[in-house]
Amino acid sequence: MTDDWRVAGSYFESCNCDPICPCRAIGSIPPGKSTHGVCFGSLSWFVEDGHFGDVDLTGLAAVLSIWFRDDVEPSTPWQVVLYVDERGGDAQRAALADIFLGRAGGTTVAQYTAAIGEVHAVRAARIELDHRPRRWRIGVEHHLTVVAGEPVVTDQVVACGIPGFDHPGTEVHVTRNNSTDPVPVMSWDVAAVCGFTTDFDYRSQNARLIP
The per-residue pLDDT for range 92-132, each reduced to its tens digit, is: 999 999 999 999 999 999 999 999 999 999 999 999 999 99
pLDDT at 163: 98
pTM for the full model?
A: 0.96
Give me the mean pLDDT over the 135-163 stretch: 97
Q: How far is CA 158 from the centre of its chain?
A: 16
CATH of domain 5-203: 2.40.400
Q: What's the chain's length in residues?
A: 211
pLDDT at 62: 99
Q: Sorting pLDDT into bands at 50, 70 and 90, what band is 210?
A: very low
- Percent helix, strand, coil in the chain (nearest 5)? 10, 50, 40
Percent of the chain's residues with pLDDT above 90:
93
The per-residue pLDDT for range 61-77, each reduced to its tens digit, is: 999 999 999 988 888 99
Cα–Cα distances in angstroms (integers) from residue 84 to residues 101, 127, 128, 149, 205, in the given order: 11, 8, 11, 25, 23
